[in-house]
């Protein structure tokens, strides 16, 4: 009975955690370049790159439907809530929340560092988690980062890449957003590998998921607002950003 309830809790947590990645949009710095000049050679390169990216999106019609759904959910729920959070909670408080949540991801970083046979990622994840948990008051202070031990985020999608897995076709997943065949598997694996999904009760898991989602969205408000105003086709913009980051 306990196993069954635990399994249900994990699956519900998995659904909630998917919400976290709705707006895990990539940095605009990977998209824009001040050095771009519109001469014919660079324009040809840009067109060729665009065609190459489009060729990796065989499910575009389906993806656009899901993109529109995710966008609507953001406009109705997450964006207003995140704006309110940013207004009501001062930057110092938001940074403490962000540090605490980031500390909880270190076990997954460790597992993937181990699978990647990367000693630096493994030792960094362990050292940061121990230091920030005990000296940083549960992780609200990034003591390790202040000491020069910077956060090294990794995941199972990157692990698959180290073993030669290709990115695969572009996918826009409901509640998850930009992804690919490889990263969809990676996301599921990271969720299942997260030990906190097993130790937290259902209520705590929901609270964590909600706070993580708002935290992530609040830090991206300015970037996504800029992209919304400057993009002729937001879908194409985010697709391009995804492949620039992951290839």
- pLDDT at residue 23 in the model: 37
Q: What HEC string does the chain produce?
A: CHHHHHHHHHHHHHHHHHHHCCCCCCCHHHCCCCCCCCCHHHHHHHHHHHHHHHHCCCCHHHHHHHHHHHHHHHHHHHHHHHHHHHHHCCHHHHHHHHHHHHHCCHHHHHHHHHHCCCHHHHHHHHHHHHHHHHCCCCCCCCHHHHCCCCCCCCCHHHHHHHCCCCCCCEEEECCCEEEEHHHHHHHHHHHHHCCHHHHCCHHHHHHHHHHHHHHHHHHCHHHHHHHHHHCCCHHHHHHHHHHHHHC
pLDDT in tens, 222-240: 999 999 999 999 999 999 9
pLDDT in tens, 32-48: 333 323 333 434 434 44
Give yes or no for residue 200 having a pLDDT over 50. Answer: yes
State what percent of residues in the chain have pLDDT above 70.
78
* pTM score of the predicted model: 0.78
């Amino acid at each position: 009975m306990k196993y069954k309830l635990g399994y249900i809790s994990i699956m519900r947590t998995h659904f909630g955690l998917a919400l976290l990645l709705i707006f895990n949009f990539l940095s605009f710095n990977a998209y824009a370049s001040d050095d771009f000049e519109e001469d014919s050679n660079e324009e040809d390169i840009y067109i060729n790159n665009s065609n190459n990216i489009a060729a990796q999106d065989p499910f575009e019609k389906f993806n656009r439907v899901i993109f529109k759904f995710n966008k609507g959910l953001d406009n109705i729920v997450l964006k207003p809530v995140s704006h309110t959070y940013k207004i009501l909670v001062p930057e110092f408080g938001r940074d403490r929340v962000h540090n605490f949540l980031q500390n909880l991801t270190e076990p997954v970083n460790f597992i993937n560092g181990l699978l990647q046979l990367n000693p630096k990622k493994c030792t960094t994840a362990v050292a940061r988690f121990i230091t920030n948990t005990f000296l940083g008051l549960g992780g609200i202070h990034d003591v390790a980062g202040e000491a020069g031990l910077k956060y090294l985020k990794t995941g199972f999608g990157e692990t698959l890449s180290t073993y030669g897995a290709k990115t695969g076709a572009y996918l826009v997943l409901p509640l998850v957003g930009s992804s690919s065949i490889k990263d969809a598997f990676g996301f599921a694996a990271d969720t299942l590998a997260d030990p906190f999904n097993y130790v937290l009760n259902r209520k705590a898991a929901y609270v964590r998921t909600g706070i993580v989602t708002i935290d992530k969205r609040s830090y991206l408000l300015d970037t996504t607002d800029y992209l919304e105003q400057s993009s002729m086709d937001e879908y194409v913009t985010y697709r391009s950003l995804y492949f620039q980051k992951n290839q």
